[in-house]
Structure 1
Amino acid sequence: MRRIVTTHWVSLDGFISGPDDDMSFVGRTFDERMGEYQGQIIEGRDVLLLGRRTYDSFAGAWPQRAVADDTAPEERAYAQRLGAMRKVVVSSTLTDPEWEHTEVWPELTRERVDALKAEDGGDVLVYGSGRLVSALTDLGAVDEYQTLLQPVVLGGGTRQLGGVDGRTDLELVRAETFPSGVVLLVHRPEAPAAD
């Protein structure tokens, strides 16, 4: 059975992007260890589950990086791996995705998520996609949250888990500080208490 694993770059004040979807804060802390993390996070995963805005951002960049002459070898390998992965986009407006291996779900339903998780294969990876992760959290479908806590305060933007309807108790299973000051926090939902 597949697991759903999320990864977010998050400011100290809880935002995954700044005002106007600004992500420039990430470039300031992107170093060799962050590059290693990005390579490791896709190992053992063969499905990307993305919201529309994250999909558009990825589809607008990674296919080109996979073939551009000025792409570093590690970045090219990463871009090619993303291109080869199955991509599932939750969108009510996307009708003709151009990035290879992409399918569209017009809405997120428990039945679709359960069927995806029941398939054989590697884990499902969700990058960013704040509203999607909030909806998956409400469904109790997220098996692991990987948060890259950035040493910055943004003061506004898109919240990491804005709009979640209820409480989910989590267990910290790993923490690592990168040389750049980024702290990787890996949480999993706590097992329900025995009666």
Structure 2
Amino acid sequence: MRKVVLSMNVTLDGFMAGPNCELDWHFENWAPDMAASLCEQLSKADTIILGRVTYSAMARYWPGRATDMSFPREDLAFAEMMNSYKKIVFSKNMSTPVWNNSRFVKGNLRRVVLQLKRQEGKDIIIYGSGQLVASLIQLELIDEYLLWMHPVVLGKGKPLFRELQDKLNMKLVKLETFRSGVVVLYYENGGIVPAEVPELIAQPALKKDQ
């Protein structure tokens, strides 16, 4: 079965975006040595899952980058994959693709993702798409977490695990560091563990005064 892989930039205090969805903090730490790793990650997939907002932003950016010769070689390779891969977009409102090889889907999220995982092919990767990711985490449909940890603390913002109600176990399988101070943590999903309901301690009955 294919794996669903989340690749997400996060701060040291666990935010994936600022209070107003700001992302400037991770652009500040981007360095050329990170591009090769990003390309390697994407090359293991052939399908991208996106939410409406992230899809709209990427559809405006990536189509023109694959032929921009001012870009480094690794960035051009990444752009080519982004443009050619299948893109599955979860949206209730959008229906007209504005980016090559895109398909909009509605309906039961769990059923659609499980159908994708059962198909032949390489991994399925997710970028951004905070609300969609929150639902996938809760449904335990993400198999691997690639967390790009940036050396910055925001203090407030959009937390990655904001809707998680129970404990989520992780297994660290790889660690990658870069000159900018960014660290990529490769985790396998160890499963959600429901919180234990504390047992009520029986209180001894009060004796009536004799």
The two structures share one fold, judged by TM-score above 0.5: yes
Q: Deviations over 1:136-186 (max 9, x none)?
A: 111111110010110011222221122123332111111222111111111
Asked whether the 8 Å contact 2:168–2:192 carries over to 1, the reply is: no
State how far apart, in whole Å, the 2-side matches of 1:177 and 1:69 are: 28
Match of 1:188 in 2: 188
Task: Measure how far apart 1:6 and its partner are.
Answer: 0.3
Aligned amino acid, residue 154 of structure 1: L
Alignment of 1:143-158 (within 5 A): 143-158=143-158
Structure 2 SS opposite 1:134: helix
Q: Deviations over 1:48-90 (max 9, x none)?
A: 0011111112111001112335333332221111110000011
State how far apart, in whole Å, the 1-side matches of 2:192 and 2:72 are: 45
Query: What TM-score does the superposition give when structure 2 sets the normalisation length?
Result: 0.85
Alignment of 1:1-195 (within 5 A): 1-190=1-190
State how far apart, in whole Å, the 2-side matches of 1:139 and 1:130 are: 14
Change (3 A) 1:171 1:69: closer
State how far apart, in whole Å, the 2-side matches of 1:70 and 1:33 are: 17
Number of paired residues? 193
Task: Measure how far apart 1:30 and its partner are.
Answer: 1.0
Change (3 A) 1:165 1:97: farther
Change (3 A) 1:40 1:78: same
State how far apart, in whole Å, the 2-side matches of 1:75 and 1:90 are: 26
State how far apart, in whole Å, the 2-side matches of 1:5 and 1:189 are: 10
Asked whether the 8 Å contact 1:135–1:164 carries over to 2, the reply is: no
Query: Highest CA radius of gyration, 1 or 2?
Result: 2
Aligned amino acid, residue 6 of structure 2: T
Provide structure 1 residue ranges, at least 5 long, that are not aligned to the other structure.
Answer: none
Aligned amino acid, residue 97 of structure 1: P
Counting helix residues as a fraction of each chain, which structure ranks higher? 1
Q: Deviations over 1:68-124 (max 9, x none)?
A: 353333322211111100000111111112101101112452211111000000000
State how far apart, in whole Å, the 1-side matches of 2:185 and 2:60 are: 28
State how far apart, in whole Å, the 2-side matches of 1:188 and 1:94 are: 32
Task: Measure how far apart 1:127 and its partner are.
Answer: 0.8
Asked whether the 8 Å contact 2:174–2:186 carries over to 1, the reply is: yes
Over aligned residue pairs, what C-alpha RMSD do you find?
1.8
Provide structure 2 residue ranges, at least 5 long, that are not aligned to the other structure.
Answer: 194-210
Asked whether the 8 Å contact 1:49–1:88 carries over to 2, the reply is: yes
Query: What TM-score does the superposition give when structure 1 sets the normalisation length?
Result: 0.91
State how far apart, in whole Å, the 2-side matches of 1:68 and 1:107 are: 37
State how far apart, in whole Å, the 2-side matches of 1:108 and 1:57 are: 24
Asked whether the 8 Å contact 1:131–1:162 carries over to 2, the reply is: no
